[in-house]
Structure 1
Amino acid sequence: MRQLPRLVATDLDGTLLRSDRTLSARTAEVISRISAGGTQVVLVTGRPIRWLNQVYDQLAAPMPAICANGAVVYDPTTDQVLRADPLAPELLAEVVRRLRAEVPGVAFAVEVTDGRELWHESAYALSWDRSDPGLRAVESPEELVGTPAVKLLARAGAQDPDAFVKVVTGALAGLAEATHSSYSGLVEISAAGVTKAAGLAWYCAQHGLTAQDTVAFGDMPNDLPMLTWVGRAVAVANAHPAVLEIADEVTSDNDSDGVAAYLEALFGLDRAEGLDRAVGSGGAEPGPAA
């Protein structure tokens, strides 16, 4: 990529957001400035739609989002899903059947209604989403798999996430995509061919853009397809080893505003001027310097 990118794609948790899930004033200002300059910014995340307002509330304007690891393309200005690629009920049932046979104690949840609700088995361990108003406990295994789901979530107690993904991938044998975006032992499953790369490629095609027009930032294995597709792949310093291995470049970590620092250098932005604007407009205090 010799020219400036026409589109910036970024993961959220562990990449654009700090460890406390906040967006620094510096990062918000950089995104605002490059957007005002005509470069598209797209959020590409494993998060469902219902968790995006936590980020939009910290931005000057909402950005288009590719959610659920590529299964949902969302326009926040109209609150419309532009594209959804869910696991059909028959496929969902077969995936669940195979994993129950292969993984002792596995428990499931599904992202349904395009990710506006999460249905879960009683044995599925909820984490920071336990107060989510979109949660619903299912009454039976049949109910769990009776509705198209943009993502299936699987837990089986404490697990090494990389090892657990290999077990799940082996059990599914190409039937669906399996990945992870945390170190909690949670595996995320999508329909075959549904990845962050596929969702981003579809979005770019709608806007007359190609992979070579795009720079992307990420930190975890669910970012690998996107990072291998784009023209320039950038990992934050805190990224998973597999991401650091394939990245074209590495920026500073998410708690040091690594994405903002890279974009400031790439677009030739004056950081001091940007921070003066953010503080002068009543923005949050800037995060740590990179």
Structure 2
Amino acid sequence: MAAPLAYALIATDLDGTLLRCDDTVSDRSRRALAAASEGGARHLVVTGRPAPRVRPLLEELGCDGLAVCGQGAQLYDAGSGRMVWSVTLDRELAEAALGKIEAEVGQVFAAVDQDGVDGLTLIEPGYEMPHPTLPAVRVPRRDVLWEEPISKVLLRHPALADDELAEVARAAVGSLATVTMSGPGTVELQPCGVTKATGLALAAERMGLRAADTLAFGDMPNDIPMFAWAAHGVAMANAHLELKAVADELTASNEEDGIAVVLERLMG
């Protein structure tokens, strides 16, 4: 059996962290996570992707427990295929928030992730998916985005950089929603107060684990709350500067098995 880790919970982001650019997990990373599991640690996926976009990856990884999805708005049980807990973004507030942002920067293009284990990703005219491998349904008008309950809104601007758009959105939206940036071309609005940290804390509690037990890996500003909650936060070499600034440790990039590098060292 592998040597036990000092951490009983390994929380990993997916895109830019555990996943390589081609949406695959390397054999080395798989072996390192399997060895950590043999040593008694639990692996928990904590991702901005909604549950329906995570299910195939969880199956491939052999994960049959909890997963934190939708930036913390969803707690999904892979074993039963059901949503254990979820919170939605009020659609009237979301529409109002978009209006406030557009009053500052002009037209933005929006998409939504619908709530539920079978929820769709809907994109309005002009919105281009930053992650082309993820399925989405194009709708003819913005008002169609609000027809079913949603977990979050995704925003893109034709000219502003992600950091600029996120900064303007935070100032314009205020307490209507939480604004975060989860990847290139991915500025998001989610329910106020909901973050990866709130979802991670809920999952850990259900697993009988604590922040002090948790080792977290990430690459983008949406991982900052998770790092603040966990005992030890590890940023990938390809991580955003804001996350690197608050990380306890830096590792190799997602393409260079950064998670495995850390786990192999900790397991001796």
TM-score (norm 1): 0.84
How many residue pairs end up in the alignment?
263
Residue in 1 aligned with 2:25?
23
Shift of 1:48: 1.8
Residue in 2 aligned with 1:35?
37
Find out whether 1:101 has 2:103 as its counterpart. Answer: yes
- Structure 1 unaligned runs (5+)? 269-290
SS in 1 for 2:183: coil
Decide whether the 8 Å contact of 1:32 with 1:60 is kept in 2.
no
Pairing 1:215-230 to 2, within 5 Å after superposition = 215-230=215-230
| Aligned residue identity for 2:236 | V
SS in 1 for 2:61: coil
| Aligned residue identity for 1:189 | L
Residue in 1 aligned with 2:193?
193
Residue in 1 aligned with 2:6?
4
Find out whether 1:121 has 2:121 as its counterpart. Answer: no
Residue in 1 aligned with 2:184?
183
- Aligned-pair identity in percent equals 38
Which range moved further: 19-28 or 115-124?
Answer: 115-124
Q: Deviations over 1:115-144 (max 9, x none)?
A: 630122112223444772xx3333443332
Find out whether 1:172 has 2:151 as its counterpart. Answer: no
| Aligned residue identity for 1:64 | L
Which range moved further: 122-131 or 230-239?
Answer: 122-131
Shift of 1:206: 1.7
Decide whether the 8 Å contact of 2:178 with 2:194 is kept in 1.
yes
Decide whether the 8 Å contact of 1:237 with 1:252 is kept in 2.
yes
Find out whether 1:157 has 2:158 as its counterpart. Answer: yes
Residue in 2 aligned with 1:261?
261
Residue in 2 aligned with 1:65?
67
Shift of 1:44: 0.6
Q: CA 1:56–1:207 in 2, change beyond 3 Å: closer, same or farther?
A: closer
Residue in 2 aligned with 1:77?
79
- Structure 2 unaligned runs (5+)? none
Residue in 2 aligned with 1:146?
147
Residue in 2 aligned with 1:44?
46
Shift of 1:60: 3.9
CA distance in 2 between partners of 1:114 and 1:19 (Å): 27
Decide whether the 8 Å contact of 1:73 with 1:203 is kept in 2.
yes
| Aligned residue identity for 2:48 | G
Shift of 1:108: 1.0
CA distance in 2 between partners of 1:26 and 1:137 (Å): 37
SS in 2 for 1:181: strand
Shift of 1:209: 1.8
| Aligned residue identity for 2:157 | A
From the CA coordinates, give the structure whose radius of gyration is larger: 1
Residue in 2 aligned with 1:242?
242
CA distance in 2 between partners of 1:60 and 1:149 (Å): 28
Shift of 1:102: 2.4
